[in-house]
């Protein structure tokens, strides 16, 4: 008898998620969708012709970029090399400056709490400023040229690098450090013989990673007058010389991919 | 008597020595090349800095409060650009990630194609994409949205595909064995495993995109970058101070909020 009723009336399967979670997820979904639709309409309000007009226009305009003018490559090779050199110098200087900062921002090395908190906050603030904004300010200060670009890259990569390296330092094995301290090593001896051997592979890998970031950043610094290939790109776009601009963009693309490939291979070999 | 001498040092092979010397020579050569051929006009830079210092730095630290409402509106637009762009990217990245993940579409060829598409997209800096879209759809915020969307797709797609590759395949196999079809496997076996991490990375990317979209205006793609370029052209460093303050505050708030949400999700 009971078996029959069970087979005829489908047993109510308990839901996997409680009703409260379901409601929460639904509400969040609609809020996100609402903000999305609102932002889409906000960002399109100054656009002439609306979305569909823009899409059809896009293909007409993109045609203007092709074919890229390959003759220009000899003229843009110099600035491209300059861009890579900017990134090399900036990465090197940042890698040197980052050592004391990373040590100060590592909880297990800097046992003096206020100093650690101050360094951490400083690094967090540094990281919030975008690279091009730094470049704009330095161009205002030093005039147009390579120097403000390099300075902007240094400050920008310092924030990232010091944070990543301080996290590496925080994750090292503390036993060798303690053993050294116990047998009478001073702060510098502990850092030199116990910390550095543990951190060095990651340090090199992170520096290479930041070098990749700097290459990408340095190709666009010229847009605000801070040297490198971006300056030429900006000029060519200003003259509506789209085939030349396309060639520059392709060169940037190739260089970025090549450097990333090499850097990834080295980093894989290191770790 | 005990012998207290140090243990023998491990011997370095000749190959390693030669390799290390080779690397050293390469690095030194790179630095020599860099520092010899780069040409910085130190004299001019220092002279300019000495002249400009008092005109720039103190004014940067005394923000122009009268510009607050304009700056706030631009910053709001920047947030909207980043939000719309990263949500679009999060949606576009999902099919590409399934294509690029080795354990989903089967076939190494599909995975390789997917990985190539994603790394090609990643190689373009956001602002170069913004230049292209400004030419295509005109100098407005929507060009910024498109630039952010395409720019973030590369990184999100890569992260998503790595997440898909790391799921527990036993669940999928068990479902296959008990006769579930592909769609059922996708909805009950794969999606529950990847959703939290997908969301976490999408939110993290929103954080990154806030920074990225705040400079897109430099090439005309809307947001606070437009004000940055005006302030710098007019040497209006007080206003630049306000803008900088707005960027720092908004980025900090969003970083903080996003870190908390992500900790809750994963």
Query: Considering only residues 203 to 242 of chain A, which have any Cβ-Cβ distance to chain B shorter than 8 Å?
Result: 216-217, 219-220, 223-224, 233, 237, 242
Higher pLDDT, A267 or A14: A267
Could you tell me if residue A250 is inside a domain? Answer: yes
pLDDT at A154: 92
The alpha carbons of chain B give a radius of gyration, in whole angstroms, of: 26
Q: Number of structural domains, chain A?
A: 1
Q: Which letter, b or e, does each residue of A148-172 get, where b requires 16 or more Cβ atoms within 10 Å of its Cβ?
A: bbbbbbbbbbbbbbbbbbbebbeeb
Long-range contacts of B169-176 (CB under 8 A, 24+ apart): B169/B103
Complete domains list, chain B, with CATH: 14-56 (no CATH), 65-265 (1.10.3720.10)
Closest CA to A220 of B219, B237, B82: B219
pLDDT above 70: residue B1: no
A54 in any annotated domain:
no
In a domain? residue A150:
yes
Q: How far apart are CA B112 and CA B92, in angstroms?
A: 18
Nearest to A219 among B42, B125, B237 (CB): B125
Test A57 with B219 for CB contact under 8 angstroms: no
DSSP state of B217: G
Residue B139 structure tokens: 């100098």
B160 pLDDT exceeds 80? yes
Domain containing A145 equals: 77-270
> Do the beta carbons of residue B216 and residue A220 sit within 8 Å?
no
Within-domain flag for A31: no
Q: What is the pLDDT of residue A2?
A: 45
For chain A, how far is it from start to end, CA to CA, in angstroms?
A: 68
Q: How confident is the model at residue A4 (pLDDT cuts 50, 70, 90)?
A: very low
Average pLDDT of chain A is: 82
Q: How far apart are the first and last CA of chain B?
A: 60
Residue A174 counted as domain residue: yes
State the pLDDT confidence band at B253, using cuts at 50, 70 and 90. Answer: very high
Tell me whether 0.90 is exceeded by the ipTM.
no
pLDDT, tens digit, 9 for 90 and up, residues B80-130: 889 999 999 999 998 888 888 887 776 788 888 888 888 888 888 888 888
**Could you say which of B37, B49, B136 has the minimum Cβ distance to residue A141?**
B49
CATH number where A181 lies? 1.10.3720.10
- Mean pLDDT for the stretch of residues B28-44: 79
**A132 within domain boundaries:** yes
Is a pLDDT exceeding 50 seen at residue B258? yes
Residue B10: pLDDT above 80? no
More confident residue, A209 or B60: A209
Tell if the CB–CB gap between B38 and A82 is shorter than 8 Å.
Answer: yes
In a domain, A8, yes or no: no
């Amino acid at each position: 008898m009971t078996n029959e009723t069970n087979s005829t009336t489908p047993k109510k399967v308990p839901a996997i998620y409680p009703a409260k979670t379901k409601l929460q997820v639904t509400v969040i979904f609609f809020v996100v969708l609402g903000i999305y639709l609102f932002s889409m309409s906000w960002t399109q309000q100054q656009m002439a012709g609306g979305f569909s007009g823009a899409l059809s226009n896009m293909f007409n305009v993109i045609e203007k970029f092709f074919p890229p003018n390959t003759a220009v490559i000899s003229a843009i090779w110099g600035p491209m090399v300059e861009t890579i050199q900017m990134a090399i110098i900036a990465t090197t200087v940042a890698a040197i400056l980052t050592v004391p900062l990373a040590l100060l921002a590592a909880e297990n090395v800097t046992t003096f709490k206020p100093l650690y908190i101050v360094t951490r906050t400083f690094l967090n603030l540094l990281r919030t400023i975008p690279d091009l904004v730094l470049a704009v300010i330095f161009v205002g200060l030093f005039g147009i040229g390579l120097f403000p670009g390099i300075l902007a890259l240094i400050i920008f990569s310092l924030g990232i690098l010091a944070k990543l390296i301080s996290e590496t330092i925080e994750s090292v094995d503390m036993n060798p450090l303690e053993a050294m301290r116990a047998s009478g090593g001073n702060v510098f001896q502990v850092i030199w013989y116990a910390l550095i051997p543990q951190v060095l592979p990651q340090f090199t890998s992170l520096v290479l990673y930041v070098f990749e970031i700097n290459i990408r950043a340095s190709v666009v610094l010229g847009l605000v007058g801070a040297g490198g290939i971006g300056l030429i790109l900006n000029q060519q776009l200003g003259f509506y010389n789209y085939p030349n601009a396309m060639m520059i963009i392709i060169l940037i693309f190739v260089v970025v991919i090549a450097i990333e490939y090499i850097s990834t291979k080295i980093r894989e070999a290191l770790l | 008597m005990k012998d207290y001498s140090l243990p023998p040092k491990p011997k370095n092979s000749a190959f390693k020595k030669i390799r290390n010397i080779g690397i050293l020579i390469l690095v030194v050569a790179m630095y020599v090349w860099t520092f010899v051929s780069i040409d910085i006009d130190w004299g001019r830079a220092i002279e300019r800095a000495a002249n400009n210092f008092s005109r720039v730095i103190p004014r940067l630290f005394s923000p122009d409060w009268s510009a607050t409402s304009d700056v706030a509106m631009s910053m709001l637009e920047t947030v909207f650009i980043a939000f719309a762009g990263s949500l679009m990217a999060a949606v576009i990245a999902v099919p590409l990630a399934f294509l690029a993940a080795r354990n989903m579409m089967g076939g190494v060829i599909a995975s390789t194609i997917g990985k190539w598409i994603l790394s090609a997209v990643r190689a373009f800096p956001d602002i170069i994409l913004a230049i292209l879209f400004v030419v295509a759809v005109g100098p407005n915020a929507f060009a910024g949205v498109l630039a952010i969307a395409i720019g973030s797709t590369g990184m999100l797609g890569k992260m998503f595909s790595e997440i898909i590759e790391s799921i527990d395949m036993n669940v999928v196999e068990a479902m296959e064995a008990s006769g579930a079809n592909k769609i059922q496997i996708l909805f009950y076996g794969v999606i529950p495993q990847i959703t939290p991490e997908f969301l976490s990375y999408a939110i993290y990317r929103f954080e990154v995109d806030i920074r990225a979209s705040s400079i897109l205006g430099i090439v005309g793609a809307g947001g606070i970058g437009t004000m940055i370029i005006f302030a710098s052209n007019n040497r209006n460093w007080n206003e630049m101070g306000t803008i900088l303050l707005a960027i720092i505050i908004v980025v900090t708030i969003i970083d903080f909020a996003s870190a908390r949400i992500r900790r809750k999700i994963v």
